[in-house]
Structure 1
Amino acid sequence: MSRLPAAWRACVGTGRMELALRRDHQDSLALIQREIGFRHIRGHGLFSDGMGIHRPFTHLGEKHVRHSFTYLDQVVDAYLGMGVRPFLELGFMPDGLASGDQTVFWWKGNITPPRSWSAWADLVRDTVTHLVDRYGLAEVRQWPIEVWNEPNLTQFWLDADADAYHRLYEITATTVKDVDPDLQVGGPAISPGSDKWLETFAEFVVARDVPIDFVSRHAYTSGPARHVPFGTHQTLGPASRLLEQFALPRHQLAGTPLAGLPVHITEFNSSYRPDNPVHDTAFHAAYLAPVVAAGGDHADSFAYWTFSDMFEEEGIPVALFHGGFGLLTHRQIKKPTFHLYAFMARMADEILSRGPDHLTTTDTTGRVTVLAWAPVDHEDLRNSPSSHALRLSVPMTGSSAFLMRSSVDEQYGNAWAAWREMGRPSSPLPRQLDALREAAEPVRSHRGLPIVDGHVTLDLTLSRHEVTLLEITPVRDETPSWWDDGHLLGMPS
């Protein structure tokens, strides 16, 4: 048996970092950590003006810069208090240091290089030094530090200028290592579609002997956006394309000096749009199930983008369900994909078997867990099979076993479906929120099973877009010898 890789929970995405100052964000992250338990969290905007780190000022006619960490400390304290470490992304450019006024997103992250490379190095050095001083070197060494976000796209880095990014990376990585050589630094955090970027970046790093501890990229499967008011529709490729993208860095770097470096997929999802309703559906959970189950074979981490719908890149959402990236909506309504991750968190840690529709694991206590999912039609979800049958045989000792089954599908554990049936209220009333929270819970069932010749046979029928978790434990019967359930109503023997 082999161990189930923990790459699926190694990191999760969030919006820009300052959102962690808000109550709804902190309540949502606390729920995520209780039921799933991610190890790291990555977001944009560490150096954007909303975090208030880079503070230029004039005194007695001279210009100065103060680096202030008031908000950064509050954000990191909140993260660590909930058991999740930062995965730091260094960007975007503070307005007071930017060489231009080009921005991205509703909240205007500046995408231009610094007008002073030495001032950028000072900003990086002071920030990393402060974190080491406040949280300790042993702690910060566990925080990967990624240089920028998707510099291969003109939306995120001026003109997608590779040479300018290489300079940014070299100065940044060298500065981080000046603070401590054992801090982890990497990149280039590229988006899908410009795959030669990683090869060119690797050649630069090797030729210049630039520090690098990991490589990173992103993965999505959606096609061009077709916009409607406050929403987007897109085609999707098969989910297997995500696994192909996860595997690509190792393939590209094979035979180079960077072969063997950790690979972090610092964003992944189906659609790259934060207003695509597919994110809210049961289809989405079944679509991503084989990716979450097998992604650790191809990457050291793959971060679901994002844990919460508190996310404002396209503006403030206009409805509770709006196609946001999150595992949770605002007000902590669980989506079906939340349960995919919560089911994974309850899996045992040794792999027994894997197939195109299931993952089976066990542990030293003899407990067996099965994650199973229905196949989907990624071109038209209406054509996904209405049912899917599979038979499994799992090893178990004793004479009988107890089965607990938890499921989400088009009807159960599907708050989006309930919200549609409510008439899609944009701002649900408190009683409607309560109803949605109840509708979001998986359906549970249980039964006893015989153990025959050291095995339990499972005949499963999954409904359309169902994801189900089976937890099977051997029974140690402690029923007293005198007990008879037939006497519950006092009938004589």
Structure 2
Amino acid sequence: NYMKNQVEVFQEIMEEVDFHVEELHITEWNYTISNRNIISDSCEQGAYVLKNCIDMNGKVGLMAYWHALDSYSDYYDADKILNGDSGMISRDGIRKPSFYAYMFMDKLLPYVLYKDEHSIITTNGRDRYVIACHNFKKLSSKYVFTEEDEITVDELPNYTEDDEAVKIQFHLANVKDGNYLLKIHYVNKEKGSIQDIWRKLEYSKNLAKDEMNYLEKSAIPWMEMRSVHVENGVLELENILKEQEIRLLDIQYRYTL
């Protein structure tokens, strides 16, 4: 909760000195300034970004992530598909989970109905609802006492407090009765994560063109679609998120002719 706590402290100080601004902008933020930390390429970072964006919703007007592209940092020994660079897009143009966290936030609707530590629910006021949620796992004390460039992908699970899934239940009242289409977009360690797909390719450095195409096309959010029926004005949804998973739910009313 570092980001949330720091912003609250900053706002308290501004209030004490009677300094007021219309909007508070965060010009750069990340969990590290290192370009050699494999967490930057992982689902952990995607969940971390989404968590902080949800936490800061309504508290700041802008959050500029540091930084967008891996190509921003240029090192002679950066010869692998992923090198732990801090960008959201790899040198080969492949999007990381952190990119999709921002993409999910961008798809939220104008009116916020509710938010908590795991989710935010929005609507357009016209029978459509979009929900972003996550199962972020905190880094353990072991991470604090380890050099960032010493962490390997295979050891990454050892640096979080737990790996339990989380069940998130949504209960929306005053919803129009009828049929809805539910689209579920998600990224986790099994689906859509560039780092975990690359692991299955044995971390190969020199991939052929078709292998790179496979990696790029696989590193996208997976999608499922379901029909949901609402009665008595109540929409209920249950989602089970794997560790470090990010998810977007898009719920649209199905009009009948």
- Whether TM-score is above 0.5 comes out as yes
1:50-100 CA-to-partner distances (Å, cap 9, x unmatched) read xxxxxxxxxxxxxxxxxxxxxxxxxxxxxxxxxxxxxxxxxxxxxxxxxxx
Q: Which position in structure 1 is the counterpart of 2:166? A: 388
Q: TM-score, normalised by structure 1?
A: 0.46
Which one of the candidate residues 192, 197, 208 is aligned to 1:413? 192
Aligned CA RMSD, in angstroms, stands at: 1.9
Which one of the candidate residues 197, 209, 213 is aligned to 1:430? 209
Q: Which position in structure 1 is the counterpart of 2:133? A: 372
Q: Which position in structure 1 is the counterpart of 2:102? A: 341
Please identify runs of 4+ aligned residues in structure 1 that moved more than 6 A: none
Q: Which position in structure 2 is the counterpart of 1:360? A: 121
Alpha-carbon shift at residue 258 of structure 1 (Å): 3.1
Local SS of the residue matching 1:254: helix
Q: Which position in structure 2 is the counterpart of 1:73? A: none
1:312-348 CA-to-partner distances (Å, cap 9, x unmatched) read 2655622220111111101210111111111111111
Q: How far apart, CA to CA, are the structure 1 residues paired with 2:242 and 2:233? A: 29
Specify whether residues 454 and 293 from structure 1 end up closer, same or farther in structure 2 by C-alpha distance, changes over 3 A only: same
1:152-179 CA-to-partner distances (Å, cap 9, x unmatched) read xxxxxxxxxxxxxxxxxxxxxxxxxxxx
Q: How far apart, CA to CA, are the structure 2 residues paired with 1:258 and 1:431? A: 57
Q: How far apart, CA to CA, are the structure 1 residues paired with 2:130 and 2:250? A: 5
Matched, 1:473 2:252: yes
**Would the aligned equivalents of 2:136 and 2:244 in 1 still touch at CA under 8 Å?**
yes
How does 1:13-32 map onto structure 2 within 5 Å? Answer: none
**Would the aligned equivalents of 1:398 and 1:474 in 2 still touch at CA under 8 Å?**
no
Structure 2 residue identity aligned to 1:388: V
Local SS of the residue matching 1:319: coil
Q: Which position in structure 2 is the counterpart of 1:290? A: 51
**Would the aligned equivalents of 1:361 and 1:369 in 2 still touch at CA under 8 Å?**
yes
**Would the aligned equivalents of 1:398 and 1:475 in 2 still touch at CA under 8 Å?**
no
Q: Which position in structure 2 is the counterpart of 1:453? A: 232
Alpha-carbon shift at residue 384 of structure 1 (Å): 2.9
Identity %: 18
Q: Which position in structure 2 is the counterpart of 1:464? A: 243
Local SS of the residue matching 1:468: strand
Q: How far apart, CA to CA, are the structure 2 residues paired with 1:388 and 1:321? A: 29
Specify whether residues 315 and 268 from structure 1 end up closer, same or farther in structure 2 by C-alpha distance, changes over 3 A only: farther
Which one of the candidate residues 387, 400, 403 is aligned to 2:182? 403
Structure 2 residue identity aligned to 1:242: M
Q: Which position in structure 2 is the counterpart of 1:253? A: 14
Q: How far apart, CA to CA, are the structure 2 residues paired with 1:247 and 1:325? A: 26
**More relative contact order, 1 or 2 (CA 8 Å, 6+ apart):** 2
Where structure 1 has 5 or more consecutive residues not aligned to the other structure, the ranges are 1-239, 479-493
Alpha-carbon shift at residue 358 of structure 1 (Å): 0.8
Larger helix percent: 1
Local SS of the residue matching 1:433: helix
Alpha-carbon shift at residue 411 of structure 1 (Å): 0.9
Q: How far apart, CA to CA, are the structure 1 residues paired with 2:229 and 2:159? A: 37
Q: TM-score, normalised by structure 2?
A: 0.86
How does 1:79-228 map onto structure 2 within 5 Å? Answer: none
Q: How far apart, CA to CA, are the structure 2 residues paired with 1:258 and 1:332? A: 42
Alpha-carbon shift at residue 415 of structure 1 (Å): 1.1
Q: How far apart, CA to CA, are the structure 1 residues paired with 2:106 and 2:10? A: 27
Q: Which position in structure 2 is the counterpart of 1:440? A: 219
**Which of the two has higher C-alpha Rg?**
1
Where structure 2 has 5 or more consecutive residues not aligned to the other structure, the ranges are 141-157
**Would the aligned equivalents of 2:55 and 2:117 in 1 still touch at CA under 8 Å?**
no
Matched, 1:266 2:44: no
1:294-313 CA-to-partner distances (Å, cap 9, x unmatched) read 21433332211111111226
Q: How far apart, CA to CA, are the structure 2 residues paired with 1:298 and 1:351? A: 13
Alpha-carbon shift at residue 432 of structure 1 (Å): 1.7
